[in-house]
Amino acid sequence: MRKEQQTLRILGDKVRYYRKLKGLSQAELAANICTQATISLIEKRNKVPSMNILMRLISRLGIQLDDIVVEHHDRIQQLLNAIDYQI
């Protein structure tokens, strides 16, 4: 398991909230990103997605990473900076 997967805690209920707010089914949110089953597991807090999947999901939902992640702001900023560097 990669370090970001160990340290990030996704708020599955928030993912579900924002998905429903957008009027998306699990399958619609997952389309071309991951599987519907993955979304279900994320919402039940049984799966932490890769950073790539997570960033694509929050983009589709039109939200910020810190809207669905429980973590210290500094660590989130470090991860975002690492992503920006890779892009």
HSE-up of residue 80 (Cα within 13 Å, Cβ side) = 11
Whether the model clears a pTM of 0.85, i.e. scores above it, the answer is no
Higher pLDDT, 15 or 86: 15
43-72: average pLDDT: 87
* Fold of the domain built from segment(s) 3-86: 434 Repressor (Amino-terminal Domain) (1.10.260)
Q: What is the pLDDT of residue 76?
A: 67
The answer to whether 66 and 74 have CB atoms below 8 angstroms apart is no
Residue whose structure tokens are 């389309």: 31
Split at pLDDT 50, 70, 90, the class of 2 is: very low
Q: What is the pLDDT of residue 42?
A: 92
pLDDT exceeds 70 at position 3: no
Tell me the domain boundaries of the chain.
3-86
Higher pLDDT, 81 or 43: 43
